């Protein structure tokens, strides 16, 4: 745990008492603060009270006397579509509102650091797609190279549940727009922007607000180095705003699919090859095509971002390349589950929207595609340019028949369930083909979340691999 600093003898309120709220409360208490807590759920309040936490009804004005700060869980709206009533009350009273990310950045550095040979660093990753894989890949590269490292934030461990840094350690954080939007302190050493596609627009008051939330990590964070994906105009804009000259190597531009020119520092992929350029000269080149844990152009973009971040803190190209080959990928994100009889089975259950499914389809050829679930507005019409890669679609869930109407000449069947889809795809697949779960839909019609959907697919495939009947 990272104890909060500069909070001794203060009364600090914590709104939302799930995993993040509990970790925040523990960090504040360890720092000497009096913690009062509130959660909208009666069961959560009762459990917290049983654990010894002081529950105070923050919906009542009389209970705000003496409170110096409100720390809110990132999932609770603070501005759009409208602020939570407790947060609005704090705003009206002039009480600072923060979240655990801001508290982390204020508390991470300690007096012990003056005895370290190498000051710890923080790499923070944000963006719409690929940030989890990029974060995990950076963490993997650091671990494989022998650097002490921890990973947390929006992936894995909550930031305040991390351990205090040791000599030379690098903490890698995935940060969502919910986290960057409100944090009052954002001071990573290296900040990474992967890309931007529409998401969470109601929470941010539109696309501009969503972009502004991501941009805060760079505009207000002031990282020593910024790694910026420039395949969208928003990334180009951030890179331009940060660079003081074309050759300013504090900004590392990354791209998947286009060569980046100019005298600055860039990392890009073309036709499966990663290239690093600095001051107009090539500094390194890596063939990504045979790396099983990084399939497809979208993962090549993640590889570029991770490469750039690790180079920014001094890792050598050979260290990074070696670690690429041992990266297994994240569950449910283009995860190679097994190869049976020359047929690959890939779990991309995280592809819950058309944009993510598009990237998955472009990563493979000769696809037996398992898709469907609770479809989103707009259907799957935007996937038509990639359907030539699909040998046959196996449609499941609530939107199976709606999806079927948009497949054109692509062969399909209504399989209804995952069990039937996997069984039918496996029985028809030929060596060299890929059975790909990339639903292009939410999971909530049949599963509680995309993880459970992906786990079901994985269990079915591994049962086949062991020669067992499907469960």
How far apart CA 207 and CA 232 sit, in angstroms, is: 13
Contact, 172 vs 178, CB < 8 A? Answer: no
Could you tell me if 435 and 343 are in contact, meaning their C-beta atoms sit under 8 angstroms apart?
A: yes
- Whether 18 has a binding-site annotation, put simply, is no
Sheet holding 412-416, edge to edge: 335-340, 343-347, 434-437, 367-372, 390-396, 412-416
The Cα 81–Cα 201 span in angstroms is: 9
364-380: b or e for each residue (b if 16 or more CB lie within 10 Å)? beebbbbbbbbbeeebb
285 is in an annotated binding site: no
Under 8 Å between Cβ of 107 and 165: no
Task: Confirm if 53 and 110 have CB atoms less than 8 A apart.
Answer: no
C-alpha–C-alpha distance, residues 176 and 126, integer Å? 6
Cβ contact 1:23 at 8 Å = yes
C-alpha–C-alpha distance, residues 31 and 26, integer Å: 9
Task: Please tell me whether 221 is known to bind a ligand.
Answer: no
Residue of 249, 261, 251, 175 whose CA lies nearest to 216: 175
| DSSP per residue, 185-234 | ----SEEEE------SHHHHTSHHHHHHHHHHHHHTT--SEEEEE-SSHH
399 labeled part of a ligand binding site: no
Q: Are 109 and 125 in contact (CB under 8 A)?
A: no
Per the annotation, does 63 bind a ligand? no
Segments of 217-333 assigned E as strands: 225-229, 251-256, 265-270, 273-278, 281-287
Residue 127 is labelled as binding a ligand = yes
Residue 351, class by beta-carbon neighbours within 10 Å (0-12 exposed, 13-18 middle, 19+ buried)?
buried
- Residues 6 or more apart whose CB falls under 8 angstroms from that of 116 comprise 166, 167, 168
Is residue 449 a known part of a binding site?
no
Residues composing the chain:
471
Work out the number of other CB atoms within 10 angstroms of the CB of residue 46. 12
Q: List, as residue ranges, the binding site.
A: 127-133
Q: List, as residue ranges, the binding site for ATP.
A: 127-133
């Amino acid at each position: 745990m990272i104890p909060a600093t500069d909070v001794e003898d203060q009364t600090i309120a914590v709104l939302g008492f799930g995993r993040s709220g509990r970790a925040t409360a523990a960090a504040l208490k360890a720092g000497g603060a009096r913690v009062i807590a509130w959660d909208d759920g009666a069961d959560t309040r009762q459990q917290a009270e049983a654990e010894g936490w002081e529950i105070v009804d923050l919906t009542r004005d009389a209970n705000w006397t003496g409170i110096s700060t409100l720390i809110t869980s990132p999932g609770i709206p603070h501005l759009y579509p409208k602020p939570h009533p407790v947060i609005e009350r704090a705003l009206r009273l002039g009480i600072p509102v923060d979240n655990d990310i801001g508290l982390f950045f204020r508390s991470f550095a300690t007096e012990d650091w003056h005895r370290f040979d190498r000051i710890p660093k923080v790499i923070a990753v944000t963006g719409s797609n690929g940030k989890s894989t990029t974060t995990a890949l950076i963490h993997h590269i650091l671990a494989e190279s022998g650097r002490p490292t921890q990973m947390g934030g929006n992936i894995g461990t909550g930031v305040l549940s991390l351990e205090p840094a040791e000599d030379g350690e690098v903490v890698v954080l995935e940060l969502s727009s919910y986290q960057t939007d409100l944090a009052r302190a954002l001071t990573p050493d290296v900040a990474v922007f992967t890309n931007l596609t529409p998401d969470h627009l109601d929470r941010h008051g539109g696309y501009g607000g969503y972009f502004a939330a991501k941009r805060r990590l760079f505009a207000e964070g002031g990282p020593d180095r910024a790694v910026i994906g420039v395949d969208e105009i928003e990334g180009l804009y951030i890179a331009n705003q940060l660079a003081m000259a074309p050759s300013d190597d504090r900004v590392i531009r990354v791209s998947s699919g286009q060569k980046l020119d100019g005298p600055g520092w860039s990392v890009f992929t073309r036709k499966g090859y990663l290239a690093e350029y600095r001051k107009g000269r090539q500094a390194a080149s890596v063939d990504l095509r045979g790396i099983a844990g990084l399939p497809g152009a979208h993962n090549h973009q993640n590889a570029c971002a991770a490469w750039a971040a690790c180079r920014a803190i001094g890792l050598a190209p050979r260290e990074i390349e070696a670690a690429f080959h041992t990266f297994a990928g994240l569950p449910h994100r283009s995860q190679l589950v097994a190869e049976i009889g020359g047929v690959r089975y890939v779990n991309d259950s995280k592809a819950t929207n058309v944009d993510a499914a598009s990237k998955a389809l472009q990563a493979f050829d000769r696809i037996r595609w398992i898709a469907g679930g609770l479809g989103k507005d707009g259907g799957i019409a935007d996937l038509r340019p990639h359907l030539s890669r699909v040998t046959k679609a196996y449609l499941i869930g609530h939107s199976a028949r709606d999806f079927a109407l948009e497949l054109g000449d692509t062969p399909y069947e209504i399989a209804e369930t995952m069990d039937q889809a996997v069984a039918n795809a496996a029985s028809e697949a030929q060596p060299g083909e890929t059975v790909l779960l990339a639903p292009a839909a939410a999971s909530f019609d049949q599963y509680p979340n995309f993880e459970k959907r992906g786990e079901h697919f994985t269990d079915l495939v591994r049962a086949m691999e062991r020669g067992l009947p499907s469960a």
